[in-house]
Amino acid sequence: MNNEQIGNINLKKINTCDASKVATKDEEGNPISFIYDDIWDFQYSRKFSKSQESRAVSFENIPQEYKKEVQHVLALMLKKNPEMALETLKYERGNLVRIAKLLGSTEWEKLNNDGIFRKFKSHIKDKRFGISTVKGTLITVNQLFKFGLTNRLIKDLKVVSFKLACKSKTKKLQHIAIPEHMATRIFKAAESTVNEFYPYKKEISDAYARYYQTRKEFLEANPHLNSKSFWNEVGCNLPHSVGIDDFEVRSSSPHLDEIKTACLILILGYSGVRHGEGLSIGLDSYQTKEYNGFEVPYLIGFSTKKNEAGLPTQETWVTHPIVKKALDLLFTVTEFARDIYKEIYANDEVKLVIVMNGLLSTNIAKHKRNVLWNTNSFTNYLAKFLKKHSITATKQDVIEFDKLNPTREGLLKEGGYLPKLSSHDFRRTFAVFLMRNKLGSIMALKHQYKHLNVVMTQWYSNNSELVRALDLQIDGELQEMMNEANIMIMTEAAFEIFNSPTLSGGEGERIDRERSKPEYEGSIYISREELERQVRSGNLSVVEHPTGFCFNPSCDRICSSEISSVVCKHEAVTRDKALERVPKRQRLIQKFENLIQLGSSFSSIRNRIFIEIKAIEHVLQQHKIEFESFQEPVID
């Protein structure tokens, strides 16, 4: 056996645990949960962030025939690692149930039999699991070996996992970066929604408070009737003072979900926080500090990544002023739900802390245990939000999507919607566009906020002076995401340059001469993989400018003059960049002709414009783009 082996340890017979064995305790060591309870409650034995609603591990939905052995193994894991994260426990619970279902039993020692193990692997393959699911399942098989519950040890997990995983699911897909035009439309629609409902924020909450109070009184007076009867007889006719024509107050709360979606788009998209961190952001989280003569707006929240002591850490994200308005709207329209939940959970200290959050489930009629609006709800309503505002892809969006998301190339179609959109996609979009110096454009920043793009770039720079000046804690993972986004952007830009049919500019001409050598004929000059290696090692630096691409890592200028492509030895201009200059040339010609009408006093400006026109024509000529040469008219 190359990849699996039967160990030499003595297999221990599984003993049924004592039902009185304690699973969790409170701060004073008193039992809260026992090993075979349906719920293991950790709320008094762990430190949680205020927004972390799930503080227990449930076994209610596990098939009865597997339940006790799954709990037994998890108890062993918890004994070995008492600080094991709840999400890890839940993950291992899922893996153990999967193993039991594939094996048809929780008699783990059956895995020792080679024939049964072959069938076990065959069942995994038939299920067409992705690589991460397969690998996680097999890691848990090895955990059973470590606890002496089986002699089966899988040595080369990576190889075996790859063989058993569904091949179409083995390719790791990144979170998406939204194309610029689509991102701009999404943020614009979100801001428009916030502005539309903001003047009626108090009236909206009051209308829902009245609705649920009336519903409660109706159902108490008519115990034989249900919610549908309330809607048909009373609810559909309840008046409200919200001055929006189609606004409707009902249990499903479609308008409230639209408001929450819009607010969360702005909070996530204009700061880069994770969804879990967004849940820790309250009304007082938005703050400002003075830096170099202007106010820097930022959010303070708690990271979902805990420190070594297992405690949530406070982090800060520079953001946009519209987020303050979004937070105000979000908390005000959900005030009615907060009041109702306070009454329902008057004796539950944990829930009372959580309901102070703005992202509450507002369908009170259907709420069960969770009171927060979870990631699945947000993802579902995002899709509805895009459809309502008809945010579909243009041909240019498709091209940009494939460039920004190489692992998802071909998934976005012209006229179609984004293939997926989740809270984390806004985080990657934020990182990518900040690194492309285009965050300001997708935010549609007004003049007084133009400095924010610079501030945000400084904020996430290594050894940021701004971070030190404001004495705040940065999101290290997001900073790393910025670095990865920068590497991806540089690599894609370099690949586009090195494989452009024509090149101009000092560096462009050098590359063109090099790749024209006989040994490169009919092949890609430099592969994407090699370019990425050079970028990561620091041997290659590419920055996109308005006129082309700069290869000088020590240059701190943003070249916007058309002359730079002629005089700068570090610039490369692709054919696509050259084509972008065609309309610019026409505008310069029109400007030149308008200045002629104003007389000779503007001769120096005209001369400058004429030089820029000729510089563009030089670039167009190098790329064999047809144009009619502009001749300076003779002025009397």
What crossing angle do the helices spanning 528-537 and 476-498 adopt, rounded to 10°?
130
Distance CA 580, CA 572 (A): 14
Alpha helix positions (H), 45-108: 64-80, 86-103
Confidence of residue 595 (pLDDT cuts 50, 70, 90): confident
> Between 92 and 492, whose confidence is greater?
92
Section 159-182 average pLDDT: 80
CB 425 within 8 A of CB 176: yes
Alpha helix positions (H), 222-373: 227-233, 254-269, 275-278, 322-333, 335-344, 349-354
Alpha helix positions (H), 538-602: 564-567, 575-579, 581-597
SS3 211: helix
The helix (run of H) or strand (run of E) holding residue 216 is helix 201-221
The helix (run of H) or strand (run of E) holding residue 509 is helix 506-515
Identity of residue 582? V
> Between 606 and 339, whose confidence is greater?
339
Residue 408 has pLDDT above 80, yes or no: yes
pLDDT for the residue 99: 95
279 exposure class (CB count in 10 Å sphere: 0-12, 13-18, 19+): buried
Residue 407 has pLDDT above 90, yes or no: no
Radius of gyration of the chain (CA): 31
Q: Which residue has the tokens 């002591």?
A: 309
Distance CA 203, CA 209 (A): 10
Lowest mean pLDDT segment, chosen from 20-24, 150-154, 177-181, 255-259:
20-24
Neighbours of 552 (CB within 10 A): 15
Residue 101 has pLDDT above 90, yes or no: yes
pLDDT for the residue 51: 55
pLDDT for the residue 450: 44
Distance CA 38, CA 71 (A): 10
Section 542-568 average pLDDT: 68
Distance CA 335, CA 21 (A): 43
Confidence of residue 232 (pLDDT cuts 50, 70, 90): very high
pLDDT for the residue 608: 84
Section 173-202 average pLDDT: 92
pLDDT for the residue 220: 93
Distance CA 144, CA 33 (A): 24
Lowest mean pLDDT segment, chosen from 121-130, 217-226, 306-315:
306-315
pLDDT for the residue 462: 45
pLDDT for the residue 444: 46
User: What's the mean pLDDT when you consider all of the chain?
Assistant: 81
> Between 333 and 364, whose confidence is greater?
333
Residue 27 has pLDDT above 80, yes or no: no
598 exposure class (CB count in 10 Å sphere: 0-12, 13-18, 19+): exposed
pLDDT for the residue 13: 40
Distance CA 505, CA 482 (A): 29
Confidence of residue 442 (pLDDT cuts 50, 70, 90): very low
> Between 522 and 188, whose confidence is greater?
188
The helix (run of H) or strand (run of E) holding residue 300 is strand 294-306
Distance CA 509, CA 516 (A): 11
Q: Tokens in use for 491? A: 């690599």
Residue 198 has pLDDT above 90, yes or no: yes
The number of C-alpha atoms within 13 Å of 572 and in the hemisphere containing its C-beta is 27
Residue 292 has pLDDT above 90, yes or no: no
Distance CA 306, CA 312 (A): 5
> Between 473 and 142, whose confidence is greater?
142
Section 173-200 average pLDDT: 91
CB 242 within 8 A of CB 204: yes
Of 41, 13, 9, the closest CA to residue 27 belongs to 41
Which residues lie closer than 8 Å to 527 by C-beta, 6 or more apart?
Answer: none
DSSP string across 462-483: TT-HHHHHHT--B-HHHHHHHH
pLDDT for the residue 445: 42
pLDDT for the residue 208: 95
Identity of residue 146? K
* The model scores a pTM over 0.85: no
pLDDT for the residue 464: 47
pLDDT for the residue 611: 87
SS3 394: coil
Section 424-446 average pLDDT: 66
Confidence of residue 36 (pLDDT cuts 50, 70, 90): very high
CA 367 to each of CA 255, 346, 370: distance values in angstroms, whole numbers, following the listed order? 17, 16, 7
CB 263 within 8 A of CB 327: yes
Which residues lie closer than 8 Å to 480 by C-beta, 6 or more apart?
Answer: none
Which residues lie closer than 8 Å to 511 by C-beta, 6 or more apart?
Answer: 497, 498, 503, 525, 572
pLDDT for the residue 563: 66
pLDDT for the residue 527: 78
Residue 394 has pLDDT above 60, yes or no: yes
310 exposure class (CB count in 10 Å sphere: 0-12, 13-18, 19+): exposed
CB 269 within 8 A of CB 430: yes
Q: How many residues does the chain have?
A: 636
pLDDT for the residue 52: 60
Of 284, 348, 280, 264, the closest CA to residue 48 belongs to 280
Distance CA 522, CA 514 (A): 14
CA 102 to chain centre: 33
Neighbours of 210 (CB within 10 A): 15
The helix (run of H) or strand (run of E) holding residue 66 is helix 64-80
Residue 7 has pLDDT above 90, yes or no: no
Distance CA 231, CA 236 (A): 5
Section 359-367 average pLDDT: 80
Percent of the chain at pLDDT > 70 equals: 79
Confidence of residue 169 (pLDDT cuts 50, 70, 90): low
pLDDT for the residue 317: 83
> Between 397 and 450, whose confidence is greater?
397
Distance CA 223, CA 218 (A): 8
User: If you average pLDDT over each of 13-17, 63-67, 430-434, 573-577, which comes out highest?
Assistant: 63-67
> Between 17 and 99, whose confidence is greater?
99
CA 475 to each of CA 44, 287, 308, 423: distance values in angstroms, whole numbers, following the listed order? 28, 16, 16, 16
Lowest mean pLDDT segment, chosen from 40-54, 166-180, 423-437:
40-54
Q: Tokens in use for 573? A: 């201009």
pLDDT for the residue 396: 92
DSSP β-bridge partners for residue 287: 298
Section 239-253 average pLDDT: 90
pLDDT for the residue 253: 87
Alpha helix positions (H), 147-200: 157-164, 180-197
